[in-house]
């Protein structure tokens, strides 16, 4: 879907996730690029989030992750690759700068996102209310544990905060593609796609999006069959 979108619009503006789930998606993009079938030369990317308190060149940052899985292998122009600057001292200013850059680029054409086991998208964690714009987030313990693999397996080394794209920016993307794999995501995928729309499960807000697609492997989709049977 992303490759097709890039071929249709070489100036595509993409929202991109980090994490374990999208690794095979990035490998596929790299393979297509290597076979000469995908040109990123004019594509613009905006990542969903970045840890705060890490230097810009810290290998544990999401910027470094993106370079490792995609940037190092395709012809993305570095001036068109955007992540929030987690090392900024004035995070409010940085958040405004990031949102303005997204607006100037014309908004996100396709936002590819993952889902946390607690239903978060980006780092929009379950809460009574969600922020529309880029903002500072205090990471939940479960989100720090889920990111420990980038920090030598030590959750306490994971930064306590991150800058995250807001739910408004994600929902304004023309198309949203939600990726989920593995049995550990089955229950939350079922709640997000078939349960009530609630800020307690941020991904459930995608139910009201005009053009949202969930791409699931069988394990992550397992709870959907159960949900359908329950309601039958």
Shortest Cβ 231–ligand F6R spacing (Å) = 27
C-beta closer to ligand F6R: residue 43 or 179: 179
DSSP secondary structure string for all residues of the chain: -HHHHHHH-TT-EEEE--SSTTHHHHHHHHHHHHTT----TT-EEEESEEESSS-TT-TTSHHHHHIIIIITTS---GGGEE---TT-S-HHHHHHHHHHHHHHTTS-SEEEE---TTS-BTTB-S-SS--SS-EEEEPPHHHHHHTGGGGTT-GGGS-SEEEE--HHHHHHSSEEEEEE-SGGGHHHHHHHHHS---TTSGGGGGGG-TTEEEEE-HHHHHHHHHHHHHH-
Q: Is 125 labeled as catalytic in the residue annotation?
A: yes
Known active-site residue 118: yes
CB of residue 69 to ligand F6R, shortest distance in Å = 12
From 39, 118, 142, 217, active-site residue: 118
Select 12 or 48, whichever has its Cβ closest to ligand F6R.
Answer: 48
List interacting residues with ligand F6R (CB under 6 A).
17-21, 48-49, 114-116, 120-123, 146
- For ligand F6R, the closer of residues 19 and 159 by Cβ is 19
Shortest distance in whole angstroms from residue 132 CB to ligand F6R: 16
Query: CA 183, CA 224: separation in Å to the nearest integer?
Result: 12
Q: Which residue is nearest to ligand F6R (CB)?
A: 114
Catalytic residue among 47, 125, 135, 147: 125
Q: Which is nearer to ligand F6R, 39 or 136 (CB)?
A: 136
Nearest approach, Cβ of residue 229 and ligand F6R (Å): 26
Q: Which is nearer to ligand F6R, 40 or 51 (CB)?
A: 51
d(CA 190, CA 62) in angstroms, rounded, equals 28
Options 33, 82, 120, 135, the catalytic residue = 120
50 in active site: no
Q: Which residues are annotated as catalytic?
A: 49, 118, 120, 125
């Amino acid at each position: 879907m992303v490759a097709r979108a890039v071929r249709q619009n070489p100036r595509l503006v993409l929202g991109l996730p980090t994490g374990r789930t999208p690794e095979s998606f990035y490998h596929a993009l790299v393979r297509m690029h290597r076979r000469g079938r995908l040109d990123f030369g004019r594509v613009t990317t905006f990542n969903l989030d970045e840890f705060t308190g890490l230097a810009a060149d810290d290998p544990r940052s999401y910027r470094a992750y993106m370079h490792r899985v995609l940037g190092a292998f395709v012809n993305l122009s570095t001036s068109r690759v955007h992540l929030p600057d987690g090392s900024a001292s004035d995070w409010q200013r940085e958040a405004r700068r990031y949102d303005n850059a997204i607006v100037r680029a014309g908004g996100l054409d396709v936002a590819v996102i993952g889902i946390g086991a607690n239903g978060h998208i980006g780092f929009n964690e379950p809460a009574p209310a969600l922020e529309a714009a880029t903002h500072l987030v205090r990471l939940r313990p479960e989100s720090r544990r889920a990111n420990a693999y980038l920090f030598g397996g030590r959750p306490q080394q994971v930064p306590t905060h991150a800058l995250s794209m807001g739910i408004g920016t994600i929902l304004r993307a023309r198309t949203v593609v939600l990726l989920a794999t593995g049995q550990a995501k089955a229950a939350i995928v079922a709640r997000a796609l078939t349960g009530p729309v609630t800020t307690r499960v941020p991904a459930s807000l995608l139910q009201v999006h005009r053009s949202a697609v969930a791409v699931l492997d069988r394990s992550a989709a397992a709870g959907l069959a159960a949900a359908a049977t329950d309601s039958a």
